[in-house]
Structure 1
Amino acid sequence: MSYQTQPTLPGHPQLTMIEEARSRLEQRFLDGGAVLLSVLDILNKMIASLDALTGSLDEETAAATMDELAATISVLSGMTARQADRQARLKDIALCERVLRPHVATMQETLRYLRTFAVTAKITGAGIADFAGFAEEILQRIQEGAQQVNNFSDRLAALGAGLGPVMAKGETTLARYGQQVPKIVDSLNGGITQIRSQRQDLAARASQVRSIARGIQGKLASTLSAMQIGDITRQRLEHCQSSFAILEDYLGSADADHLNADNRQKLTSLIRHLVANQLAQSRHDFDRDTTLIVETVSSFTSELAQIAAIQQAMTGEDDDRSAGAMRNLEAGVAEARRAVGEIELVARAAGEMTERTLSTVQALLEGIGVVQIVRGDIHYMALNTNLRCGKIGEEGRAINVVTAELRIFAGRLDEVADQILDELKGLQGTTEQLLADADGASAQPEGDTLDARLARAIDRIHAVADAMESDLERIAEEGQGGIRQMNAALLKLDFQADLGDTLRLCAEEFAIDGEDLSLEGLEEAIAVVGPQINRLYTMASERELHARILGTAAPVEPPLMVLSDDDLDDALF
């Protein structure tokens, strides 16, 4: 016969009290287990939300954003130096222009003298055959040379006139760079520091919450384990009910016919005493273990308060470490982008003016060939004049007086031309360096301007700020709501309320006071009833108490068999 059901026996109305205690105990612990599992679920959601938050500013996104800002800083930092170099080279060009100016004026003056002498030579040799045509050729060459030098002078004047605005604009640009670039660089450097700090702070705070949450999870696990006391106590109540059922069956069977009324009462009192002691021991164990459960659960309060405080700090609008910090960073980088946009406009304007200057300089460089031709022509004219005069003889002496002066001024022209060539070579070197600097500055890939870099950084920061705000909002909702749910749920875990008193009343109800509890005359009955009740037990403490009250030896627990690896292999395969 099975005694795992718990009938309410008419002869023992106290069993109704045990059944009520068993039912309430079972329901309370089922509810308690559900509460603890719900708390565990809330903690898991909280940790998942934290993982999402820390993932908002993941390492890859943070690194890409900081790289964009660092690259922008590098270019910005170089802009001031490049502008200063450009100004220095423009000053070198301006100095060269000022040095060239008197040389060109000397060349122009020399050419005027040469023209005068050529006209005089033409007049002097007017009567000499073939010389008039030759003199006319000289005049034409001098006139062409003068025109070329005048053109050179005009270009040089244009260079001088153009350099002024370019250099003035350059000084303004350099001054603006000096005022704005350091501020922008500091702002962007601060942004890099802020991103790094943001990641570290989020990670630190999330780690704090995870640590606390995992601590609670660990305690919850131990609490769930400790809640076995509910199942143990329920089983022991069932054993007590089944003990009376066994007694009733025995007293109603033929095996009990030999017992008189007194012995029947003694046997009933003895089993009742056994049940009372089992109930008392169960209540003691129940009180002990549930007290530990309640103490453990009570310790959650301070830990949940710590989580709430950390979450509040993470979602605080005025906190520099909240999502608002990312919005501030976004605004700061956007402001830097506007300033950089102005700087790039200024840089482009200065670059255009520089290109115009370079174009003028290039024309002067091309004029080197013109100066060389003029100088060659003068030497050619001087040589041919000497030859012609030698052939003419006595008639050429008058012309030789004029051509002597022509040769002198031709020599001066040669000297001035060499000086101009030397200066133009220096101008060429400076201009080529300026061109190289301009080409280097514009060599960045298409779409990789300062503005484009900052635009990409702003897009990333904006996306991160959006994600963080969403995650923080969810954390605020889930966190505060979850903590309220946990606090409310944990209040339901007072297992001692009602249950402890009910178990105590059950034990008191079955207590025997002043009755004969001797085993005399009951040996045969106990030999039948005792083993049946003993087979109900699942705990050693039950069997030990049973043996002490009914006078039987405590059962010997079989030794624990330790299986070898071979035994496990045989069992599994």
Structure 2
Amino acid sequence: MVTEALAKLVSLLEHIGNSLKEENATEATARLLQTVDLLNRLPPAEARRRENVAAIGQTGQRLAEHVLSMEETLRYLRTFAATAKIAGARIPDFSSFASEIVERIEFATKEVKALSLQIRSLEGQIESATANEDGSLAQHLNGIPSIAQRLISNAEEIQAQRRNLSELAETVAGLARKIQNKVAHTLSAMQIGDITRQRVEHCQTAHAIMEAYLASEAPANLSANDRQRLSQLAMTLIFELLGETTKGFDRETVKIVDNIRSFSGDIGTLLDLYRTMMSQSGQDGKSPINSLRGDLSAARIVVDRIDVAAAGANRLSEKTSEMVKELTTSILTIQLVRRDIQYMALNTNLRCGKLGEEGRAINVVAGELRSFASLLDEDAEKILVGLGKLETQATGLKDWRQAGEEENSSGLGTHIDTALAHIGEAGASMDLNVQELRRCGEAMTSQVADVIKGLDFRAGIGETLASCTKEAGRTRSAFVDTTGLEAPVAAISERIFKIYTMAAEREIHAAIFGAVSSLAESAPAPASDEELFADALF
């Protein structure tokens, strides 16, 4: 269980480390700085848009003034035309001629009224375009520099956080691998159980060999005393083998216990590092990622507001361009009417000159018609100049962004949405990994604590080995005289010697039974018991 928890921990740390790679952070920061650059362009661009809208409004007001002047001129013309019609009522054919002038003036009046309606429509479009330009939008725009500055600051903090977390992840991963190595070494060292079992089996086999020999192969003349001496010799061997086995078992299990208990300190360090990672990853609620998310959301609100204002500006630009074309046509028509009126008035002057005193009054009225018709032309020229300016301003409003800027602020909105999505995914992934890291660390700590709590080799195998050694010691002899038993001892010794797998066993055997024959020693043996133990471990 501990090894599984450690493997999962290392895997999580590697995953966190991969998510914090330099190239990923650099790319994310570059996108963020690009967003900041686009944000910084918003206030001046929006200022240009508002200036263009205001300029169109001012031009529209001047056009309205010229239209009012034209309407007033037409009222005078209508009055003079009516006067001329009355004055020439008794003159043949002049009444119909005056009526034609009145019709022309009425036609011009309708065209001017249409102009006036178009101008009022323009005012309505301007009001619509500026409807969203309240104080809150200005506040949002004023807040963009501070938002942009915070985004840059947060980007720098995230870079620093990434480096710190990456270094911490490497440190924690290194410590986790160290614990893994300790666990692996401990698990290998626990093969002392197999070695101990094998040695105990060798003791059992040695006892069985001696018993089998005495039961079926011993010479018939072997006395009871001789049999007892052989049994004591075997028991002495078993006692020494068990004693060596018990000492080796105690020595290795002490190392195992010390090694496992040292996990506590390592895991304590691991958890301290984990808590540092928790705080730096924003689990304490102070992450720059959270601040970044808030600032980007605020920027997105500004972009949405500007999108609405920009849409109104685009509609105003399109409507203004259409209106300029219609007004230009109307003004040209009015100029044609003005020319007709002047020609008619001029003809009237010529005819009145022939009438003498009778046409004097009409002649005066016709002169006034010509004079005021020229005023109509002056207003028309001013309106045409204004319409040309209005067309330029409408084009400028449509192209209010500078070269290199996004075609519309929704492009910036897409940048922000992408950044928000990326930050959300990165934050969620980090939260998930860190939470999983916490669960994994807690599980590993609990498991190691349980292992340490229940770790007592002496209570089981150690006590049993000690008991067996004590029991063997009761029937062994410190010195066994083997005089006259050379042949049985040699036969038994050779058989027992063949079962050994460790140098220490052979050394103990030689000390009790004496040197063995070259045939028995022919089997290869490790140079030392330590090498044998190492081979058993690894």
The equivalent residue for 1:170 is: 133
Aligned counterpart for 2:390 among listed residues 412, 422, 427: 427
1:298 equivalent to 2:264? Answer no
Question: CA offset at residue 370 of structure 1?
Answer: 1.7
1:483 equivalent to 2:449? Answer no
The 3-state SS of whatever aligns with 1:307 is helix
Consecutive unaligned residues in structure 2, runs of 5 or more: 527-538
The 3-state SS of whatever aligns with 1:170 is coil
Q: Is the 8 A contact 1:158 1:360 kept in 2?
A: no
The equivalent residue for 2:50 is: 87
The 3-state SS of whatever aligns with 2:133 is helix
CA distance in 2, matches of 1:199, 1:216: 25
CA distance in 2, matches of 1:39, 1:340: 48
Cα distance change of structure 1 residues 285 and 350 upon mapping to structure 2, 3 Å threshold: closer
The 3-state SS of whatever aligns with 2:499 is coil
For 1:419-568, list aligned pairs within 5 A. Answer: 419-435=382-398, 461=424, 476=438, 479-495=441-457, 503=465, 510=473, 515-517=479-481, 520-547=483-510, 549=512, 550-553=514-517, 555-558=521-524
CA distance in 1, matches of 2:127, 2:480: 128
Give the counterpart letter for 1:430 in structure 2: Q
The equivalent residue for 1:26 is: none
The equivalent residue for 2:340 is: 380
Cα distance change of structure 1 residues 102 and 352 upon mapping to structure 2, 3 Å threshold: closer
Question: Per-residue CA shift, 1:323-357, capped at 9, x if unaligned?
Answer: 45399977985797589669847964896698579
Please, which moves more after superposition, 224-233 or 94-103?
94-103
Give the counterpart letter for 1:244 in structure 2: H
TM-score with structure 2 setting the length:
0.72
Cα distance change of structure 1 residues 110 and 328 upon mapping to structure 2, 3 Å threshold: same
Q: Is the 8 A contact 1:113 1:409 kept in 2?
A: yes
Q: Is the 8 A contact 1:83 1:170 kept in 2?
A: no
Question: CA offset at residue 424 of structure 1?
Answer: 0.8
CA distance in 1, matches of 2:53, 2:264: 74
Give the counterpart letter for 1:379 in structure 2: R
The equivalent residue for 2:534 is: none
Cα distance change of structure 1 residues 320 and 460 upon mapping to structure 2, 3 Å threshold: closer
CA distance in 2, matches of 1:453, 1:427: 35
CA distance in 2, matches of 1:52, 1:146: 80
Question: Per-residue CA shift, 1:344-391, capped at 9, x if unaligned?
Answer: 479648966985797588546522222211111222333355457667
Aligned counterpart for 1:321 among listed residues 278, 281, 292: 281
RMSD: 5.3
CA distance in 2, matches of 1:161, 1:471: 57
For 1:387-398, list aligned pairs within 5 A. Answer: 394-395=354-355
Question: CA offset at residue 421 of structure 1?
Answer: 0.4
Question: Per-residue CA shift, 1:449-477, capped at 9, x if unaligned?
Answer: 96998699589949975x87777666655
1:40 equivalent to 2:3? Answer yes
1:149 equivalent to 2:112? Answer yes
Question: CA offset at residue 412 of structure 1?
Answer: 4.5
Question: CA offset at residue 294 of structure 1?
Answer: 2.9
Q: Is the 8 A contact 2:88 2:94 kept in 1?
A: yes
Please, which moves more after superposition, 72-81 or 293-302?
72-81
CA distance in 1, matches of 2:106, 2:217: 158
Q: Is the 8 A contact 1:43 1:213 kept in 2?
A: yes
Cα distance change of structure 1 residues 220 and 347 upon mapping to structure 2, 3 Å threshold: closer
The 3-state SS of whatever aligns with 2:285 is helix
1:367 equivalent to 2:327? Answer yes
Q: Is the 8 A contact 1:49 1:475 kept in 2?
A: yes
Please, which moves more after superposition, 208-217 or 373-382?
208-217
CA distance in 2, matches of 1:148, 1:473: 76
CA distance in 1, matches of 2:182, 2:479: 47
CA distance in 1, matches of 2:450, 2:326: 92
Question: CA offset at residue 530 of structure 1?
Answer: 1.6
Identity of aligned residues (%): 31
CA distance in 2, matches of 1:462, 1:240: 65
Question: CA offset at residue 89 of structure 1?
Answer: 0.9
CA distance in 1, matches of 2:99, 2:298: 67
Cα distance change of structure 1 residues 322 and 363 upon mapping to structure 2, 3 Å threshold: closer
Q: Is the 8 A contact 1:337 1:451 kept in 2?
A: no
CA distance in 2, matches of 1:174, 1:287: 80
CA distance in 2, matches of 1:92, 1:531: 118
CA distance in 2, matches of 1:288, 1:130: 143
Question: Per-residue CA shift, 1:6-54, capped at 9, x if unaligned?
Answer: xxxxxxxxxxxxxxxxxxxxxxxxxxxxxxxx43244345557778999
- The alignment of Structure 1 onto Structure 2 pairs a total of residues equal to 514
Cα distance change of structure 1 residues 220 and 173 upon mapping to structure 2, 3 Å threshold: closer
Give the counterpart letter for 2:205 in structure 1: S
Aligned counterpart for 1:242 among listed residues 205, 219, 224: 205
TM-score with structure 1 setting the length:
0.68
Question: Per-residue CA shift, 1:376-433, capped at 9, x if unaligned?
Answer: 1222333355457667873389566765665455444334322220111111222244
Question: Per-residue CA shift, 1:141-190, capped at 9, x if unaligned?
Answer: 12432443355346546756885796586363542223454566667778
Q: Is the 8 A contact 1:188 1:333 kept in 2?
A: no
Question: Per-residue CA shift, 1:242-286, capped at 9, x if unaligned?
Answer: 222222332334533344566545544443443344334334433
Please, which moves more after superposition, 238-247 or 488-497?
488-497
CA distance in 1, matches of 2:124, 2:496: 121
1:215 equivalent to 2:178? Answer yes
